[in-house]
């Protein structure tokens, strides 16, 4: 059976984000089970790496977030995920399950060395096109 590894920030920002949207008992939706997995394995170095990210004076921004004009409008609340991937020496991919806004930034992120892997790419692209009215 394949096992996964996650990268989190040392400041608990990513887990706090998950806690705002998911239930920690693991019951209910798939995301809830994921959060329970994170709780169970967050301190296990075989399952989790932690990196330090540096908040800037600009609200919800980080020194590790790429300075790229194509990302200037990137969702402020999601910048922590990009900063963590960028700060990690292995530059791990970011797995995106349901937030279709990320589809519009995938190419700009890739140009900055950050790969986003969509769990259901056809559905995400369709949702993106429905919301934003454009083809990519």
∠ CA 41-46-48, rounded to 5°: 50
Per-residue pLDDT band for 74 (boundaries 50, 70, 90) equals very high
Q: Output the pLDDT for position 102.
A: 95
Q: Output the pLDDT for position 34.
A: 87
The angle, 0 to 180 degrees and rounded to 10, between the axes of the packed helices 79-87 and 13-21 is 140
Q: Whole-angstrom Cα distance, residue 122 to residue 45?
A: 33
Q: Whole-angstrom Cα distance, residue 7 to residue 1?
A: 20
Which residues neighbour 19 within 8 Å (Cβ) at sequence distance 6 or greater?
35
User: Which residue ranges make up each domain of the chain?
Assistant: 1-51, 53-136
Q: Output the pLDDT for position 31.
A: 79
Cut 0.85: pTM above it: yes
Who wins on pLDDT, 1 or 19? Answer: 19
Give the model confidence (pLDDT) of 2-61 as tens digits. Answer: 457 899 999 999 999 988 888 666 567 787 888 998 999 999 999 999 999 999 988 789
């Amino acid at each position: 059976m394949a096992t996964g590894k996650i990268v989190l920030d040392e400041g608990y920002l990513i887990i706090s984000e998950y806690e705002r949207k998911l239930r920690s008992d693991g019951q209910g939706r798939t995301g809830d089970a994921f959060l329970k997995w994170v709780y169970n394995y967050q301190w296990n170095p075989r399952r989790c790496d932690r990196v330090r990210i540096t908040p800037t004076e600009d609200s919800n921004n980080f020194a590790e977030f790429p300075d790229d004009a194509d990302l200037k409008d990137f969702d402020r609340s999601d910048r922590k995920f990009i900063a963590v991937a960028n700060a990690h020496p292995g530059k791990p991919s970011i797995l995106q399950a349901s937030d279709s806004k990320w589809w519009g930034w995938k190419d700009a992120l890739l140009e900055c060395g950050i790969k986003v892997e969509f769990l259901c790419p056809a559905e995400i692209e369709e949702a993106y096109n429905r919301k934003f009215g454009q083809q990519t």
